[in-house]
Amino acid sequence: MPTHSVVLPVEDAIVAQLDAALTVPVTYAWPGKSTEPTAVFLGQHPEVGDILLDVSGEDPVMKAGRRQRQESFEVVITIWAFRPDLTHADARLAAGSATAVFNDIDDVFRNDFDLGVAGVQSTTITRYPRQLFPFKGGWAAYIRVTVQVEARLT
């Protein structure tokens, strides 16, 4: 079992596994103005909200020697689908692109609950709100996927 927080190893594993499973670019953070029309990245799109990681921990069991700690945190993954060529009548195409990527991400977490990271007990998608909105003359859809991570540290 790890002795320190698994936040960074979990984020690295998410990026690596999603990059291997998806056909769209996957990055650790928003790639900036060079973002592909459909992309996945950790955190939120900077024009949509602040990036915040809220981590909590507790010592659930006292035993001789080193105390164990239970760590619980959420990782936010953004699915971004922008179609500059779409009118309002075709906006569903942007939503459909984002939903197809979500389905692939959902499969990754259902097939590998610990992402191969020591100490991780579970990774569960808990929320995935979608927003569809006009953006720079076209339509954009984003899904903000929240993954709840539970880990045991020694």
> Which two three-digit tokens encode residue 51?
């990036």
7-153 is classed in which CATH architecture? Answer: 2-Layer Sandwich (3.30)
Measured in degrees and rounded to the nearest 5, phi and psi for residue 60 equal -75, -25
pLDDT tens digit string along 9-37?
999 999 999 999 999 999 999 888 888 88
Domain extent listing, the chain: 7-153
Where residue 95 falls (left for φ over 0; alpha for ψ -120 to 50; beta otherwise) is alpha
Q: What is the pLDDT of residues 73-110, one digit of tens each?
A: 999 999 998 887 767 777 888 889 999 999 999 999 99
Residue 92 per-residue DSSP state: H
Q: CA 13 to CA 26: how far, in whole Å? A: 12
The candidate with the shortest Cα–Cα distance to 63, out of 134, 141, 140, 154, is 154
DSSP state of 68: P
